[in-house]
């Protein structure tokens, strides 16, 4: 386990918190983030460790969870060890928060009249000499005025003694394949396909790392475009395996990518639901300490689902390399939208990360109307700010009514009711224009 013994007193450790508290002593305990802005959440010198991260917003962008990107550097390294859209890092699937109660990540609801969730991450993040964490708020085209209030905590400790040499650094990486490509010769999107996969070469790859370390978690999201049960895909984890050029079995022609010379893999599963602790074909959400299907949009498996596995009691250890893969449908016969976050610890240096997709490439699939309604939300917030700044200011009850209308619109937008959301945002604009 990675958690401290609460009865053990630790010498040479000082606990502290970095947060967005209002330095003036007033109650504006948040940062104001503007689209396109990058802020530093942590800049520490000397040995230390983060034990808990927390953040929240109120009535923010529908896609804030993938517009915000967290990057972390340990010990002066040139490339970040963490580069993940903030929501995905904390377990938010498809930019849509849902309740999550697990050992490593917790998502708790706020006021039911608005969109506000408390996001918590408890994976320890140690460093030997320095740590820097930055948060970027990437702008959606045409929504440059969408400022956001952002509350955060970084609960940590500083050490007077150097870290032990066997303490590895935390890493997290975001991946997406949208859509996956059905393997040639398979029956696309057929749940009953019974082909043969004896190399894993066309599996979805959630993590490919080099060095010595251990994988401790996976957050996997699937937008099931083909319909039907997609989860006959097995996990195949290749550990300390050499890689060879990937040749076509029939022609011997070099194809894109590489395959592993290790077969069978060190870990070979029996289906997607087994990885995440479920019974056969979960069609309702669940979440627990180590495993969960915390999002299941439809009981017939269509649409968006998400799942997690914390390898806290059973980390996947590697001495030289790890490649965590999963079939997208049995024998890779499904064309679906796969997104993942892999969590691991390793010694440095780490292998270069693939380039993070731009903000539009990170957005979950959505109806075109959603971005139109998003623009209306931004206008409504601008009108609310104008109303609040008038002299004399309006009665508190008036502003509260507008605030709750904004919350109702944001809730409707997250719930997939864009017409209802647009009506709420438009009513705020109409009030402002009448003043």
Report helix, strand or coil for 416. Answer: coil
What pLDDT score does 242 carry?
Answer: 78
pLDDT band at 253 (very low <50, low <70, confident <90, very high): very low
Is the pLDDT higher at 136 or at 246?
Answer: 136
Predicted pLDDT at 261: 72
Percent of the chain with pLDDT over 70: 94
Look at residue 85 and give its three-state secondary structure. strand
Residues 6+ apart with CB under 8 A from 145: 35, 378, 382
The token duo for 361 is 């490439």
pLDDT digits (tens, 9 = 90+) for 258-274: 456 789 999 999 999 99
Q: Quick one: pLDDT band at residue 154, thresholds 50, 70, 90?
A: very high
Q: Can you tell me whether residue 272 is helix, strand or coil?
A: helix
Q: What is the mean pLDDT of the chain?
A: 93
What are the respective helix, strand and coil percentages of the chain, to the nearest 5?
15, 35, 45
142 pLDDT band, cuts 50/70/90, is confident
Neighbours of 360 (CB within 10 A): 12
What single string gives the DSSP state of each residue in 91-139? T--TT----EE-SSEEEEE--TTS--EEEEE---EEESSEEEEEEEEPP
């Amino acid at each position: 386990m990675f958690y401290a013994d609460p009865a053990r007193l630790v010498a040479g450790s000082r606990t502290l918190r970095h947060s967005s508290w209002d330095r003036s002593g007033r109650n504006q305990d948040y940062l104001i983030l503007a689209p396109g802005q990058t802020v530093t959440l942590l800049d520490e010198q000397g040995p230390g460790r983060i034990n808990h991260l927390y953040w929240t917003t109120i009535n923010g962008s529908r896609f804030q969870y993938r517009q915000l990107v967290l990057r972390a550097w340990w010990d002066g390294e040139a490339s970040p060890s963490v580069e993940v859209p903030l929501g995905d890092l904390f377990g938010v699937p498809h930019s849509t928060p849902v309740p999550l109660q697990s050992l490593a990540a917790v998502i708790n609801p706020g006021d039911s009249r608005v969109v506000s969730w408390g996001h918590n991450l408890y994976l320890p993040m140690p460093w030997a000499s320095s740590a820097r964490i930055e948060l970027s708020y990437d702008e959606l085209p045409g929504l440059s005025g969408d400022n956001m209030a952002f509350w955060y905590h970084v609960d940590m400790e500083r050490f007077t003694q150097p870290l032990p040499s066997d303490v590895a650094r935390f890493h997290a990486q975001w991946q997406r394949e949208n859509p996956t490509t059905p393997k040639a010769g398979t029956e696309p999107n057929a749940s009953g396909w019974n082909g043969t996969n004896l190399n894993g070469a066309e599996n979805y790859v959630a993590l490919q790392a080099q060095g010595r370390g251990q994988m401790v978690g996976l957050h996997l999201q699937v937008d099931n475009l083909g319909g039907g049960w997609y989860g006959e895909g097995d996990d195949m984890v290749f550990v300390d395996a050499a890689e060879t050029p990937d040749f076509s079995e029939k022609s011997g022609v070099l194809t894109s990518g590489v395959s592993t010379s290790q077969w069978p893999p060190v870990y070979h599963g029996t289906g997607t639901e087994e990885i995440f602790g479920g019974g056969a074909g979960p069609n309702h959400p669940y979440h627990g300490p180590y495993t969960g299907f915390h999002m299941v949009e439809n009981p017939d498996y269509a649409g968006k689902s998400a799942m997690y596995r914390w390898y806290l009691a059973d980390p996947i250890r590697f001495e030289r390399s790890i490649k965590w893969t999963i079939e997208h449908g049995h024998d890779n016969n499904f064309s679906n939208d796969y997104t993942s976050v892999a969590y691991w610890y390793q010694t440095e240096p780490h292998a270069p990360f693939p380039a993070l997709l731009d903000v539009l490439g990170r957005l979950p699939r959505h109806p075109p109307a959603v971005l139109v309604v998003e623009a209306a939300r931004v206008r409504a917030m601008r009108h609310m700010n104008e109303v609040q700044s008038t002299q004399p200011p309006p009665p508190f009850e008036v502003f509260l009514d507008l605030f709750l209308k904004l919350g109702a619109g944001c809730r409707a937008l997250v719930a997939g009711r864009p017409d209802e959301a647009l009506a709420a945002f438009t009513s705020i604009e109409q009030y402002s224009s009448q003043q």
